[in-house]
């Protein structure tokens, strides 16, 4: 079964995956496993890279994960292909797949499966792609070959913690960009200071794992999906010109246009005050 899974994943340009027993995972949402009828078996952890040359654009004003289309659609298409094939080939076993809304602690499980180490920023740091990966997993009641490792932390250089603006602005910058409604004066100042209309990558950008992956060129995803329809710099004109179907393909769509538009307006007002060009 593992060879069959490997063939399908590699066909989809996914090369960072490994299995471990469910008993070695920290189950955080047991009802998801119960709903799938799986109480014991294996989890196949997938680390799906998403960084593209567009993410390295120096004028990028939103988190790298939001430059391309929503990753949920990628996982949906992958699992829609994978699950029927598995159920037809192995009808005696049960299968379920998850991304984001997961029954297990994904980062810890991925580190225990040997996919990477856990950074001080709480992210999984892989050798090839650094932390620029989305995590998902296939869960089955079938046994899969595995090699367990003791989850390790990174080298503790402290660069990610020093770069994080949270201690300086009193809140998570990524959460601030996603906050609905009006922002107060301090929040507006923070948004303008860091120039992000959505998300924050500061801790990832300074990480030695990221710098090594950039220098070697391994950081770039081989998956075509993430190279399509990239928007590294979002502007009001681009946002307002988006048809609703296109907008819904974006990671920021769940917060509605009003939230991202507010952020762009605040950033544009700062440029206007300095006499700069409009966003």
Which residues are tagged catalytic? 100
Residue 198 near residue 63, CB atoms below 8 Å: yes
**Following CA atoms 76, 80, 82, 86 in sequence, which dihedral angle do they give, to the nearest 10 degrees?**
140
At 201 the three-state DSSP class reads coil
Residue 265 near residue 182, CB atoms below 8 Å: no
CA distances (Å), origin 99, targets 79, 102, 188: 10, 6, 33
Give the whole-angstrom CA distance, residue 29 versus residue 98: 12
**What is the 3 state secondary structure string of 99-119?**
ECCCCECHHHHHHHCCCCEEC
> Which token pair is 92?
């005696």
> Which token pair is 260?
């991202």
Give the whole-angstrom CA distance, residue 64 versus residue 192: 18
First to last CA, the chain: 52
Q: Please, what is the angle between helix 2-11 and helix 71-89, to 10°?
A: 140
Dihedral pair phi/psi, residue 99, rounded to 5°: -150, 130
């Amino acid at each position: 079964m593992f060879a069959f899974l490997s063939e399908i994943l590699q066909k989809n340009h996914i090369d960072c995956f490994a299995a471990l027993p469910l008993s070695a995972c920290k189950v955080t949402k047991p009802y998801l496993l119960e709903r799938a009828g799986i109480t014991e078996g294996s989890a196949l952890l997938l680390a799906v890279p998403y960084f593209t040359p567009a993410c390295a654009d120096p004028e990028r004003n939103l988190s790298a994960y939001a430059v391309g289309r929503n990753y949920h659609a990628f996982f949906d298409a992958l699992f829609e292909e994978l699950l029927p094939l598995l159920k037809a080939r192995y009808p005696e076993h049960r299968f379920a797949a998850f991304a984001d809304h997961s029954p297990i602690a994904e980062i810890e499980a991925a580190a225990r499966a040997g996919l990477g180490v856990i950074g001080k920023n709480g992210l999984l740091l892989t050798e090839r792609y650094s932390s620029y990966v989305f995590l998902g997993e296939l869960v089955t009641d079938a046994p899969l070959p595995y090699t367990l490792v003791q989850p390790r932390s990174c080298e503790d250089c402290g660069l990610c913690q020093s770069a994080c603006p949270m201690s300086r602005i009193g809140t998570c910058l990524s959460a601030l960009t996603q906050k609905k409604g009006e922002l107060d004066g301090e929040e507006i100042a923070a948004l303008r200071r860091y120039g992000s209309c959505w998300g924050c990558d500061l801790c990832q950008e300074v990480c030695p794992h990221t710098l090594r992956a950039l220098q070697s060129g391994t950081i770039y995803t081989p998956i075509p999906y993430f190279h399509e329809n990239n928007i590294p710099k979002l502007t009001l004109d681009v946002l307002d010109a988006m048809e609703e179907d296109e907008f819904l393909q974006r990671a920021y769509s769940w917060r509605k246009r009003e939230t991202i538009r507010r952020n762009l307006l605040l950033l544009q007002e700062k440029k206007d005050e300095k006499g700069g060009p409009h966003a």
